[in-house]
Amino acid sequence: MIKSGICFIISAPSGTGKSSLISSFLSTKWGFNARSSISYTTRSMRPGEKEGQHYYFISKKKFETMINKNIFLEYAVVFNNYYGTSRILIEKMLSEGNDVILDIDWQGARQIRNYFSHSISIFILPPSKLELYNRLKKRGQNTDLDIKHRIKKAVFEISHYKEYDYLIVNDNFTKAVSDLKSIIISHRLSLYYQKYNIDELIKSLCCIK
């Protein structure tokens, strides 16, 4: 019998390093059977991104058609672009025993929690506003006006931190990756999941002959 996977929600303001943390975690043996969900978006592809690896890049018209067909588990508008998660894709991965890493914002996180009551949510924080500004500036993809707008939005996003189960400060990248591993490993070892994963062992140990 295949045990259902765990849904891990990871959110953070733009420029915090969330995507890099997730990629680093999944690239190690500590990733277990975890897989990252690939979202749909209407924004343009950035340098270095690949179709079907980072996102499924589609038109606004197609995205809205998918909304009307109730295909998305969650969706939101971020910086005037749609982002959404396929319901069928997530349910399939979880039913096959894979843990799923969802890279979504606080709006999507709310929707996911309502659908998967036992999901675990993690919020990534920058070490300071100045460092967040420097990281966004270093990207070279936004004007100063765009960066100021993103910083303002980041402040609003961070105000929702209390809705999450765990907080990680991405100051030292190596430590932040270690913190992420620790959270996922510890939840994997919790009673709620272990009692199903090792149910045969528990039965045999508790059996009195």
- Give the CATH number, domain containing residue 117: 3.40.50.300
What is the predicted pLDDT for the residue at 37? 87
Residue 123 forms part of a structural domain: yes
Q: Which residues of the chain have pLDDT under 50?
A: 1
Distance CA 197, CA 46 (A): 40
In angstroms, the Cα distances linking 166 to 11, 68, 122, 187, 208 are: 11, 34, 5, 11, 40
| pLDDT on residue 31 | 54
Q: Which string of b and e fits 45-82 if b means at least 16 CB within 10 Å?
A: eeeeeeeeebbbebeeeebeebeeeebbbbbbebeeeb
In a domain, residue 45? The reply is yes
Domain membership flag for residue 189: yes
Number of domains in the chain: 1
Within-domain flag for 2:
no
Q: Domain residues for 123?
A: 7-206
Q: Which of 23, 17, 1 is nearest to 136 (CA)?
A: 17
- Residue 29, pLDDT score: 62
Instruction: Quote the pLDDT of residue 79.
Output: 82
**pLDDT recorded at residue 2:** 52
User: pLDDT per residue over 132-144, tens digit each?
Assistant: 999 888 887 778 8
Rg (CA), the chain: 19
Predicted local confidence at residue 1, as pLDDT = 47
pLDDT of res. 9: 96
Strand order in the sheet with 55-57: 55-57, 39-41, 81-86, 72-78
Q: Does residue 1 lie within any of the structural domains?
A: no
34 within domain boundaries: yes
Q: Tell me, what's the pLDDT at 179?
A: 96
The whole model's pTM is what? 0.85
